[in-house]
Amino acid sequence: MRNVFVAVVFTLFFAFTSSAADRAMQDPAAKPTVEIHSQGIIKAWDVRKVSIAHQAIPALDWPPMTMSFLLPPAPSFAALPVGTAVDFSFLPIDGGYRLIAVARQ
């Protein structure tokens, strides 16, 4: 019986240490990125950023507001005029949010 107990303890120990090692090997700074979608009105557009007055975004617990989104280095979408109603998507990045898609409503 003692041998069975020792075998179980060793098995649990090695199972735990391998799981801990797997977690330690993962990048602790890596955070899952979640694409956020909303609707709004273009307020300004320049070569680096777009200002959008957007609806509330429940996924982030944000009220309606106007904010700037950074443009990607080579956007796959064209600039839109101020006042255009849009559907848009963005990703959180260090120090802000990057617009990844925008289209007229």
Per-residue pLDDT 10s for the chain (105 aa) are: 666 555 555 555 555 544 444 544 455 455 557 899 999 999 999 999 999 999 999 999 999 999 999 999 999 999 999 999 999 999 999 889 999 999 999
Query: Is the whole-model pTM more than 0.75?
Result: no
Question: Given the structure tokens 């602790």, which residue do they identify?
Answer: 28
Tell me the domain boundaries of the chain.
Answer: 36-104
99, 101, 103, 105 alpha-carbon torsion, rounded to 10°: -80
Q: What CATH number belongs to 36-104? A: 2.40.50.320
Pick from 91, 102, 96, 92: nearest CA to 52: 102
